[in-house]
A = this chain, B = another copy of it.
Amino acid sequence: MAEKDGGKALRAAPAEGAPRRSQPPLSIKDIARIARVSHPTVSRALQNSPLVNAETAEKIRRIAEEAGYRASAVARGLVTRRTRSIGLVVTTVADPFAGEVACGVEQTANDHGYSVFLADSNADPERERKVVRAFAERRVDGIIVTSSRVGALYLPMLAEMQVPIVLVNDQYPGAFVHSVMIANFEGMRAAAEHLIALGHRRIAYLGDQFGYQSDAERLAGYRAALGTAGIPAPAELVADGDGKPEAAMAAMEKLLALERPPTAVCCYNDMSALGAMRRIGARGLRVPEDISVSGFDDLFFASYLQPPLTTVRQPMRRMGRMAMDSLLRLMSGEESVPRIRVDAELVVRASTATARAD
Binding site for B on A (CB under 8 A): 22-25, 68, 70-75, 77-78, 81, 83, 85, 88, 92-96, 98-100, 102-103, 106-107, 110, 115-120, 127, 130-131, 133-134, 136-139, 160-162, 245, 274-275, 277-278, 281, 300-301, 303-306, 308, 317
Contact = CB atoms under 8 A, between A and B. Distances in A.
Given A106-B118, A110-B120, 9 more contacts: A71-B137, A72-B139, A73-B139, A78-B78, A88-B118, A93-B99, A94-B100, A106-B119, A107-B120
Contacts of A92: 103
Contacts of A120: 103, 106-107, 110
7 contacts: A73-B137, A73-B138, A74-B74, A110-B130, A115-B134, A116-B118, A116-B119
A28 to B, nearest CB: 13
A96 B93 contact: no
Nearest to A134: B115
Nearest to A97: B94
A322 B243 CA distance: 29
A23 B81 CA distance: 11
A107 B90 CA distance: 12
Contacts of A23: 162
A296 B217 CA distance: 38
A134 B70 CA distance: 9
Contacts of A102: 93-94, 118
A249 to B, nearest CB: 9
A107 B118 CA distance: 10
Contacts of A130: 110
Contacts of A306: 277-278, 281, 305-306
A74 B78 contact: yes
Given A75-B78, A78-B78, A304 B317 contact: no
A94 B94 contact: no
A13 to B, nearest CB: 15
Q: Taking each of A92, A103, A133, which has the highest tally of chain B beta carbons within 10 Å of its own beta carbon? A: A103
Contact of A94 (B77, B81, B103): B103
Contacts of A138: 73-74, 85, 115
Contacts of A106: 93, 118-120
Contact of A83 (B25, B74, B131): B74
Contact of A277 (B24, B73, B133, B304): B304
Contacts of A118: 88, 102, 106, 116-118
Contacts of A93: 93, 99, 102-103, 106
A258 to B, nearest CB: 23
A22 B162 contact: yes
Q: Taking each of A134, A136, A303, A304, which has the highest tally of chain B beta carbons within 10 Å of its own beta carbon? A: A304
